[in-house]
């Protein structure tokens, strides 16, 4: 299927690895002109051929600077994929062990980075009647299944997508959300990430935790989600062929969320 994305200008955040890298790869394959934003670049990201903008989107001025660099490189923006998320620190710590700084840090990267990037990009997207896709998490619907600051920030992000769709949909900008379950990314696979921290807290080998994760989280597929699977959904929502999909929140979680 031709997704009609050839020569569209796209900005993708959190692009150095995982879902963001997969989105960049698939947009480039569709012929889009892609600006990839990441705190640090990687050989894999450089190999995509995307224009790479190094930026810390958790910093207050990072998003505005990144969008300005994108506009200078590709002109007007047609697409914005807000994928930046995750976070550093002891994500597996319980509520009583997470101070205000931990909450602020996780909200900066998982919520406010998207607020600020979207605010900076929207004037251009309005002129182009473009599309925004926010990458949230199924934890927004099951907030106990993860660190409280992370899942509540993702819940706020999901709500933001609905609010933006209502305000800007009538002006020609489609806004949708994709909410993955456990994806085979560094958040789970890195020993220093959430998955590794959780394994140490539970006293089990990291590999054993990953092997048991699909069943423990109620995934019907019996395996972790691959970044390319999430990227395929994101890229479809960027496409004009999904032009009547506005304000939606798509779960891609192997069936973890059981409610209608």
- What token pair was written down for 38? 């990441």
pLDDT exceeds 90 at position 66? yes
- What token pair was written down for 48? 């995509």
Flag whether the pTM goes above 0.75. yes
* The total number of residues written for the chain in this structure: 260
* Catalytic machinery residues: 150
Q: Are 163 and 176 in contact (CB under 8 A)?
A: no
Output the CA–CA distances (angstroms, integers) from residue 237 to 19, 25, 70, 186, 253, in the order listed: 15, 16, 21, 24, 17
135-160 per-position pLDDT tens digit: 999 999 998 877 899 999 999 999 99
30-54 per-position pLDDT tens digit: 999 999 999 999 999 999 999 999 9
Q: Look up tokens 């949230």; give the residue.
A: 136
Q: How far is CA 225 from the centre of its chain?
A: 14
What are the structural domains, with CATH classification, of the chain? 9-181+228-251 (3.40.50.720), 184-224 (no CATH)
160-185 per-position pLDDT tens digit: 999 999 999 999 999 999 999 999 99
Alpha-carbon Rg for the chain in angstroms: 17
- What token pair was written down for 9? 């200008």
Q: How far apart are the first and last CA of the chain?
A: 30
Q: Are 256 and 218 in contact (CB under 8 A)?
A: yes
């Amino acid at each position: 299927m031709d997704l009609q994305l050839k020569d569209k200008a796209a900005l993708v955040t959190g692009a150095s690895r995982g879902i963001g890298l997969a989105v960049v790869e698939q947009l480039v394959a569709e012929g889009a002109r892609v600006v990839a934003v990441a705190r640090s670049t990687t050989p894999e990201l450089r190999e995509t051929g995307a224009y790479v903008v190094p930026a810390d989107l958790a910093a207050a001025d990072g998003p505005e600077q990144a969008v300005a660099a994108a506009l200078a490189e590709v002109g007007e923006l047609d697409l914005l994929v807000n994928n930046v998320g995750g976070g550093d620190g002891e994500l597996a710590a319980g509520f009583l062990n997470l101070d205000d700084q931990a909450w602020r840090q996780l909200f900066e990267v998982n919520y406010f980075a998207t607020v600020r990037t979207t605010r900076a990009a929207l004037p251009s997207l309005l002129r182009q009647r473009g599309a925004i896709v926010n990458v949230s998490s199924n934890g927004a619907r099951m907030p106990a299944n993860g660190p409280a600051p992370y899942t509540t920030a993702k819940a706020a992000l999901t709500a933001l997508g609905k609010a933006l769709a209502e305000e800007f949909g009538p002006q020609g900008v489609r806004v949708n959300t994709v909410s993955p379950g456990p994806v085979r990314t560094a958040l789970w696979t890195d020993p220093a990430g959430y998955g590794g921290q959780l394994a140490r807290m539970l006293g089990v080998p990291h590999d054993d935790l990953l092997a048991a994760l699909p069943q423990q989280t109620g995934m019907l597929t019996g395996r972790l989600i691959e970044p390319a699977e999430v990227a395929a959904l994101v890229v479809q929502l960027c496409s004009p062929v999904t032009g009547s999909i506005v304000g939606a929140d798509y779960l891609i979680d192997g069936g973890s969320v059981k409610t209608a």
